[in-house]
Structure 1
Amino acid sequence: MTWNPMLEPWLLVVVAVLLVGYVVYAAIRASARARLMWLGRLVMVLALVAALARPGIGTYSANVANDAVDVVFVVDTSASVGAEDWGGEAVRLEGMKEDIKQLAADHPGARYAMITFNSVASQRLPFTTDATALQEAVDLLTPEDGYYAMGSSPTVAADLLHEVLRDAVEADPEGERARLVYYLGDGEDTLNGEEEDFSESAGLVQGGSVLGYGTKAGAKVRAYDTYARDYADYIYDSGSYEPGISKIDEDTLDSIAQQLRVSYQHRDASSEPEAADVDVRRGTLAPDTANRMSFPIYWVFAMVIVGWLLIESFLLVRAGREVRDALTDQERREDAREAGDDV
C-alpha cells in the first residue's frame, strides 16, 4: 500500500490527534445513549484522516507530463519510405507517422522538434510544446517525389541533429532537461556519398531509439507525385525497367543506434514502439517504475464519511420533527386552556 497525503505528514498527525482527542473526550462525557453517536463520529473522523492520507494499492502505468524533456524526431522522407511493406500494402511512411504520434503521446508535455532527411536534411519543426503543431507537421510528411528523387543517405542528418541538440543544451544552462532522439528510417543508402557519424550527439542525449522500417525481402516502392499530392505508379529500375525493390538495411540502423548509444527497434504494424522511460522530476532516465502509479482507494473512506453524514442528517431531521410536533401539541394545549376547555 502507498500513501500520498494531501497535507504535510506532521500537519496530518496534528489534525488527527486534535480531532480524535476531542471526539473521545466528548464520548466520555456524554450519556450512554449519546455515546453511541460519538463512537460513530469517531469512525467518521478516522475515515477522514485516512482519506486525507490518500492510500493506494497496486500499480498501473500512467502517462505523466514530461515538461522537462526535449524530444527530437529524425525522420526518413526519401522515396524508399513509399515501399509497400507496412502491414500489407501500406507504405512505410504511414507506419512512421503512427509511431511518431504514439511516441509523442508517451511523452505528454514535452518539447518536440522534427528533422527530415533524404539527400539533404532540414528541420521541419523547431522545439515546441504544441502537440497539435507536431501532429500537423507529421500529417504533412510525404516521401520525396519519386520522379525527381536523387537518392538518400541514412546519415545525412547527423550534423543538423548535433546542431539542434547543442542549441537545446545551451538553452538549458542548469541541465534540468532530458533530451531524447527517435530516429525513424529504413537505413537504405542510395546516395553512395560519404557517411556521416552521429557519435558527436551521443553525449547530448539521455535516451531514445532507432526505429527500423521495412523487410529483408523488400517491397516495391510507390512513386509519390508532389503535384497530384498522391502516390502514382511505382519507381522503376533504370536498367531492367522493372519496379525497384527497397530493402531495410539493419546493419546501418544498428550502427546509428550504437553511435547515438540508444536501442534499436525493428518496427512492424503488429506492435507498438517502445518509448524511453524518463523521470520528469529530474529530467533524467528513470527505471521502469518511474511512471507507475497506485490505484487510489481514498474514496472508500470518503464513502464512510458520506454514509455517517447521511445518518446524522436523518437523525437531525427526525429530532427536528419531534421538537416541532411537541411545540405544536403544547400550543394546542395552551389555546385550549385559554378557551376554558379541559386539557
Structure 2
Amino acid sequence: MRISWRAAVGGLAGLVGAVTWAISSAVYQPIMEPSGVWYDEAGVAVQQTAENNTYWPRELRHLAILLAVAGILVLCRTASRAVATAVVAAGGWLTADVLLDRFDVHGTGTAIVLASAATAYVATAAFLASRLSRADTGGPAVRHVVAGTLALLAVTSLLVVTPWVEQTTPAQIRAEAELTALKIVVSVLFAVLAATTVGRPAARAGATLGFGLVAVAAGVFVAVGEYRFVYSYALLIAVVAALVAVAAPRVRSVAGLVGMTVLGAVCAVASFAVLIIGGMVVGSVLTSLAGNPPVNGADTDISAPLLVTVLGVAMSLLTLAVTALPGALRAVQAGPPGSPAAAG
C-alpha cells in the first residue's frame, strides 16, 4: 500500500510532536524549575524565583502539541470536521500538560511512558478526524488560514531560548545543543506542513517560492543569532515573508504583492506589541496554574506559542479578506449574471 505525502508528513509531525512534548515535560522541565530558598541581605529566607526564559520547556511543549495537531489537519486535508477535532484534541492535551507540570513529573522512564501515551493520543485523534471528515476537504479559505498560521509558528519555534548567556556546565551545554536541534526540527516541520497545505499554486508560483526562501534565510539568522537579535530585522523579515508567501498565490499583480508586503509589515509590528503584553499575561497565568515559582519581578514571564496561534489566525483572515477584495469589487461592478453590466 502506497503512503501519500500528506500521510507521511502528518504522521511524522504527530510522532515528533509527541516525543518532543514528553522529553520537554519529564526531562527538561524538572531541571529548569527553581527550587529551595535563598537569603536576602537581612538574612531572611525568600522563595527562589525564576528568570527570563526559565520556562522554555513549556514553550517547546506547546509547540510540540501544536505541531502534532497540525499534522492531523494536513493528514485530513484541513476538512472542517478535522479542524474541530484537532482543536478539541489540542485543548485536552494542553489541559493534561498543565496538570502534569503541576505534579512535577520527571525521569527518563516517565518520558517514555508520556511519549507512548501522547503518540497513542495523536493516533486516536487522527483516526477520529479522518473518519469524521471522510470525503470532505477544506476549502481554499480554510487552507489559507491554516497555512498562514503554521508559517508563523515555524518562525516562532526559533524564538525558544534558554536563560543562559554562556553555558558553563556540561548539563547546560547538552541542553542548549538539544534545544537547538529540536527547535530547528519543529520549525522545519511547521514550514513543511504550511507548504503542503498551500500546495502547488497555479498563480504566482515564483513569488511564493521567492518569499518562502526569504523567510527561510531570515529564519536562519534568527536561529543562529544571539538573543539580543531575536526581535531584530531578521525576525521581522521572516514573519513578513512567511505571510506574503502564503498569500502570494491569491495576488494577481506585482502591485498587489507590494501592498501585501506592506500589510504584512504592519501586521508584524502590531503583533509584536500584542505578543509582549498578551504573552506576559498568558505566561504568568500558566506559571500560576502549574504551581511553578514565579518569575522575578525584574524579568518577564512570556508564553508565545498559544498567542501566536491566535495572532496567526487573525492575520491570515486579514490577508485572506484583502486578497479577496479585488474579486469582490469586480463582481459588484459587473452586476448579477444577465444584467447589462455583466454583458459588457
TM-score, normalisation: structure 1: 0.28
Greater fraction helix: 2
More strand by share: 1
Structure with bigger gyration radius: 1
> TM-score when scaled to structure 2?
0.28
